[in-house]
């Protein structure tokens, strides 16, 4: 009897329900290596529950610096704030680098697609990023948050349009939009235009309004929305963490709210606001097409005669060096995202 080849297996997988997971937990703040160790443990637990894709929260490696002001007021910065930034920078992630290799091994060893929020460093700048890994451990690419919110702009740079990938995978078209980027209607539209099916929304927002937004986006995009947030207490932060969080060890700092939502806005798992947890659910991609029967916002429900969106995905470099023959410009090579889906108009 003929054995099914790889492409046949992929096609068959695409027609079957797939179990996905969102991790709600706390990192080991400002400790990259210990946080990576915790990622390995949590990913293994999710895989043992049958998950084929596992999502971790925003800035999980190695911290969302909630409550820190980094010593900044208008017109002045403090020496302690500069030291806080140095410590944050030291625990961040080089892409590529050893932490990326470690995360790739975690994906490979557990046979999972891994999507995880990290604080990426490049030179002297930090970025809030999401890294994507295939089940064979291959690094698919990254998304840099294009709009840090409020005081996040003190410590995170701005991504550009070159890292907004949607990846074609056997599980479905996979991408991520970070926290309040989800309140950018045009960014959501760009992701819908790429045919996103598994819409990952790692976040640091645990308000009721966020949970309502996840249901709205699932319905609007007719996609599965996976939202993952941290759950942490004051004791999860260093003793010398000088912030407005107070000192009570059991005080809840971030209450979670992670959830998985189907294309009709129904909760398949969560929202959970009780403790650290791994939420799982089976997703049936057939629900996406059933939903698009009456709502496809970049198809039959669009009005391009009235509204059109232009998306600029060219990388923007602050320095371009001219070398070699006259008039020849050498630019840093843009990131190449394996199996990335083209953007609108490409």
Q: Which residues are catalytic?
A: 58, 145, 179
Q: What is the largest CA-CA distance in the chain?
A: 75
Query: Is the torsion defined by CA of 236, 242, 243, 249 positive or negative?
Result: positive
Residue 75 structure tokens = 């017109």
Whether residue 218 contacts residue 265, with contact meaning beta carbons closer than 8 Å, is answered with yes
Query: Is the torsion defined by CA of 133, 139, 140, 146 positive or negative?
Result: positive
Q: Would you say how long the chain is, in residues?
A: 346
Distance from chain centroid for Cα 140: 13
Residue 61 structure tokens = 């490696």
Rg (CA), the chain: 20
- Distance separating alpha carbons of residues 286 and 15, to the nearest angstrom: 7
Kindly give the pairing relationship between strand 231-233 and strand 252-255: antiparallel
- Distance separating alpha carbons of residues 99 and 151, to the nearest angstrom: 26
Look-up of token digits 């003190």: 154
CA dihedral 22, 169, 156, 68 (to 10 degrees): 10
- Distance separating alpha carbons of residues 30 and 74, to the nearest angstrom: 26
Q: Is 50 helix (H, G, I), strand (E, B) or coil?
A: coil
CA dihedral 292, 295, 296, 299 (to 10 degrees): 110
Residue 50 structure tokens = 């049958």
Contacts of 318 (CB under 8 A, 6+ apart): none
């Amino acid at each position: 009897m003929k054995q099914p080849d790889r492409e046949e297996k992929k096609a068959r997988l695409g027609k079957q329900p797939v179990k996905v997971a969102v991790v709600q937990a706390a990192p080991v703040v400002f400790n990259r290596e210990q946080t990576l160790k915790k990622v390995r443990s949590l990913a293994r637990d999710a895989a043992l529950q049958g998950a084929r894709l596992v999502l971790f929260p925003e800035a999980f490696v190695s911290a969302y610096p909630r409550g820190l002001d980094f010593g900044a007021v208008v017109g002045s910065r403090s020496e302690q704030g500069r030291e806080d930034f140095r410590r944050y920078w030291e625990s961040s992630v080089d892409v590529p680098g050893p932490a990326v290799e470690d995360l790739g091994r975690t994906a490979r060893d557990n046979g999972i697609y891994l999507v995880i929020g990290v604080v990426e460093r490049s030179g002297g700048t930090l970025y809030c990023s999401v890294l994507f890994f295939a089940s064979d451990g291959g690094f698919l690419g990254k998304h840099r948050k294009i709009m840090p919110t409020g005081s996040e702009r003190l410590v995170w740079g701005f991504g550009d349009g070159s890292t907004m990938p949607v990846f074609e995978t056997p599980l479905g078209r996979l991408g991520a939009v970070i926290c309040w980027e989800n309140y950018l209607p045009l960014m959501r539209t760009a992701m819908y235009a790429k045919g996103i099916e598994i819409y990952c929304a790692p976040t640091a927002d645990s308000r009721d309004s966020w949970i309502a937004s996840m249901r709205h986006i699932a319905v609007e995009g007719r996609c599965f929305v996976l939202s993952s947030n941290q759950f942490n207490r004051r004791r999860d932060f260093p003793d010398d963490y000088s912030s407005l969080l107070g000192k009570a060890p059991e005080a809840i700092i971030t209450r979670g709210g992670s959830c998985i939502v189907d294309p009709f806005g129904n909760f398949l798992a969560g929202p959970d606001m009780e403790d650290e947890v791994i939420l799982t659910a089976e997703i049936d991609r057939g629900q996406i097409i059933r939903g698009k029967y009456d709502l496809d916002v970049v198809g039959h429900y669009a009005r391009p005669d009235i509204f059109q969106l232009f998306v600029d995905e060219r990388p923007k470099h602050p320095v371009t060096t001219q070398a070699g023959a006259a008039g020849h410009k050498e630019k840093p090579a843009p990131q190449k995202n394996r199996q990335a889906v083209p953007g609108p108009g490409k």
